[in-house]
Structure 1
Amino acid sequence: MAVKIHEQFKLNGHGYSNEELKEVAYSLIKEGEDFEKDIGDFLLDWLSPDLQLTVRTSGSTGIPLGIALKKQHMVNSAKVTGEYFQLEAGDRVLLCLSPQYIAGKMMLVRAMVLGLELDFVAPTSRPLDGVNKSYKFCAMVPLQLESSISKLNQIQTVIVGGASVSSQLIKLIANSNTKIFETYGMTETITHVAVRPLNQYDTKSKFGAFKILPDITISQDDRKCLVINAPNISDDPVITNDIVELISEKEFLWQGRFDNVINSGGIKLIPEQIEQKLSSLMPSRFFVSALPDLKLGQKLVLVVEGEKIEGLQEIISKADLEKFELPKEIFYIPAFVNTTNGKIVREKSLSLIKS
């Protein structure tokens, strides 16, 4: 049996019955741009009698995978988001993410389940160019957020995810009247299960901490990685590869990926923590990684995108780095390999280094 569409749901200003929405989907698939075809495909999947559908991961930490998700779990996720961000039937929201992935799909689901009026635009790096309406809610990736700062007054609440938010971007949005939240989640958890404010801070929470959404509990495994128990959106606990510090039963600090940890001469280094220390100083995109080393096992390296930066060693010396956190070598790559949402694919980018 197909999932019921809320009677107040609108797509680009028009309300549709289930059958009419199927016709819109067919039209998008037949005549639309690539992203519109993806919207049409998803609408047909959602309106089908199947109780679950397959969503693919972004592929930032490996080969993109197809994951089967229950539609009821997606409905439950949409309702929790609606409650947390106070979304009500008739509110206008904007879809500017690729509908190929879970974050874009869930914007459509939230609209259909909660009765929101959803407009969609092409998922470009500058999604608000040419957009003149105001919106209650929108989801973006960091690159889109950065390019939209001058027009953020058109949106009341923005959630940002898909890639880490740099300290420079956090400074740029500090004085925005828009409420901006970074999200934590993945395809397996049907987008976000935790959020942290990037401006207009909640003084009751530890700065930088993610706060979990209702009906979710968290713990750590023996690797200090986050374990998520969310029965309304996943039948089984989700064991992540994200190293965290638990602040309370409801909050955690994200520290980095377990699969990125570097063992250099017996010292374990978390690249993301080193990157955080460098992020406010670096003029170009970069990441920290490791290469094999006969003496250390792995040596810490800094990989920079673009042209050589004059005085980079001096820049690095200004960061609050421990001696063992200093890169042993610096490499430059013309352009990183990225996922569609702008996240650096570290392993593939590292392989571009010419020996």
Structure 2
Amino acid sequence: MSKYIPNYHNVHNKFKLNGFHLNAEDLCRVAYSFIKEGEDFEKPVGDFILDWFDGKEFIEMKTSGSTGKPKTIRVEKQAMVNSALATGDFFGLEAGDTILNCLPVKYVAGKMMFIRAFILGLEMDFVAPSSHPFELIDKQYDFTALVPLQAMNSVDLLHNFKTIIIGGSAVSAALEKVLKPIKANIYETYGMTETITHIAARKMGKKAFTTLPNVVLSQDKNNCLLIHASAISDEIIHTNDIVELVSENKFIFLGRFDNVINSGGIKLIPEQIEAKMLPFIKKRFFVTGKEDKELGEHLVLVVEGLEEPIDLSKIKTLDKYEKPREVIFVNKFKETATGKIIRKDSLS
């Protein structure tokens, strides 16, 4: 007997929004109210709900712009439903579970929290997105999704959640260290707008990401990840992420192909070098390549904030090719709306 797959028109009869049972018709009334008289963070929710129930089979979304100009793409609503079902299977979400959505609905991650709630029958509370989202929360939840900044600012309150997923940008070694003692199931997720949020997750303490159901992985000639996810895309999704492929369902993230530095014929992956530097540099930073007549490129350390002495000789784990030849200070890094550093723009 085949498994029942809900349609994007469906709203589960156990779905609740901020404590109220709502069907599709109710949700559209709420949406009009949000648009007309809601707070600033509620207006995009109203727009999204009306778009979801407008009869079209797709929804338009913008990519983040972390590696190029943001672009608008069309995503099939049924593919978003399939993504929600895969998340439910992977994290064991069941009808009646409680979730907190503190992500902006303008972006795919915030939209998907609503869709998971509609489709899986979850009881969702929705609060204003902020860097300190739990300040007014005094209850426990089964599930939430955060960006790294929210997680770092809420460490003392994360024990109120059974399962926490963190995405939008990479979980740093510093954040992972402070999350280690927390008694919750905490995962870093991997995905992008094109994959309809995450297609894999890594439990804190583990190195490898594991795919959600119905996702198979491979690599191209540059060792970049290829994603085969027929439930969300008819085409293979090509990424610029260099990975170590453990199996067709597991991988270790190494860095982005766009960021690779070729210095005298040696290929350097910035993310690997940055991980070694992280315990020694307190400010935000990244490494990149700078044009060099002799080497093609040489390695540069870019630090956010006022200039100060940085002693790189203390970092014994760096090999001779991984030691920056100069340090550049930048007053303020350029970022995407989800907090990812835009490396090239930060240097211009």
TM-score by length of 1: 0.94
The 3-state SS of whatever aligns with 2:168 is coil
In 2, Cα distance between the equivalents of 1:260 and 1:38? 33
Pick from 313, 325, 329 the counterpart of residue 311 of structure 2: 313
Give the aligned residue type for 1:250.
N
SS of the residue corresponding to residue 247 of structure 2 reads coil
Aligned to 1:204: none
Q: Which amino acid aligns with 2:240?
A: N
Match of 2:35 among 20, 29, 51: 29
Q: 2:321 maps to which residue?
A: 324
Within a 5 Å distance, the mapping from 1:99-114 to structure 2 comes to 99-114=105-120
Q: Indicate conservation of the 8 Å contact 1:2/1:50, yes or no.
A: no
Aligned partner letter, 1:165 = V
| Alpha-carbon distance in 1 for matches of 2:129, 2:304 | 24
Contact 2:101 2:127 in 1 (8 A): yes
Matched, 1:347 2:344: yes
d(CA) in 1 for partners of 2:165 and 2:139? 18
Instruction: Determine the C-alpha separation between the residues in 2 that align with 1:43 and 1:24.
Output: 9
1:61 aligns with 2:59: no
**CA–CA distance in structure 2, aligned partners of residues 257 and 33 of structure 1:** 38
CA contact (8 A) 1:278 1:319 kept: no
Secondary structure of 2:41's match?
A: helix
**Structure 1 segment 68-87 matched on structure 2, within 5 A:** 68-87=74-93
What's the CA shift for 1:153? Answer: 1.3
- Counting only pairs closer than 5 Å after superposition, residues 123-134 of structure 1 correspond to structure 2 as 123-134=129-140
Partner residue, 1:265: 264
Match for 1:318: what amino acid?
I
CA contact (8 A) 2:80 2:115 kept: yes
The Cα shift of 1:309 comes to 3.3
Aligned residue pairs: how many? 342
How far the C-alpha of 1:124 sits from its partner, in A, is: 0.7
Contact 2:8 2:81 in 1 (8 A): no
Structure 1 residue 75: deviation in Å? Answer: 0.4
Q: Name the Cα RMSD after superposition.
A: 1.3
Q: 1:44-79, CA deviations, whole angstroms, 9 ceiling, x for partnerless residues?
A: 111111011111111111111111111111001101
Equivalent residue, structure 2, for 1:274: 273
SS of residue matched to 1:35: coil
Q: What is the CA-CA distance between 1:319 and the residue it aligns to?
A: 4.2
In structure 2, the partner of 1:162 is 168
Structure 1 residues 147-171: Cα deviation after superposition (integer angstroms, max 9, x where no partner): 0100011111110011111111111
> Pairwise mapping of residues 206-355 of structure 1 onto structure 2 (< 5 A)?
207-310=206-309, 312-314=310-312, 317-351=314-348
- Specify the SS of the correspondent of 2:143: strand
How far off is 1:343 after superposition?
Answer: 1.1
Take 2:244 and 2:308, find their aligned partners in 1: how far apart are those partners? 34
Q: Distance in 2 between matches of 1:65 and 1:301?
A: 30
The offset of 1:30, in angstroms, is 1.4
AA aligned to 1:263 is: N
| Partner SS for 2:94 | coil
Q: CA deviation at 1:313?
A: 1.8
Listed one character per residue, the Cα deviations across residues 119-164 of structure 1 (whole Å, up to 9, x for unaligned) are 1111111111111121111111100000010001111111001111
Per-residue CA deviation, residues 205-233 of structure 1 (Å, 9 max, x unaligned), is xx311111111110001111000000001
Identity fraction in percent: 52
Match of 1:203 in 2: none
- TM-score normalised per structure 2: 0.96
Matched residue SS, 1:342:
coil
Q: 1:2 to 1:110 in 2, by over 3 A?
A: closer
SS in 2 for 1:133: coil
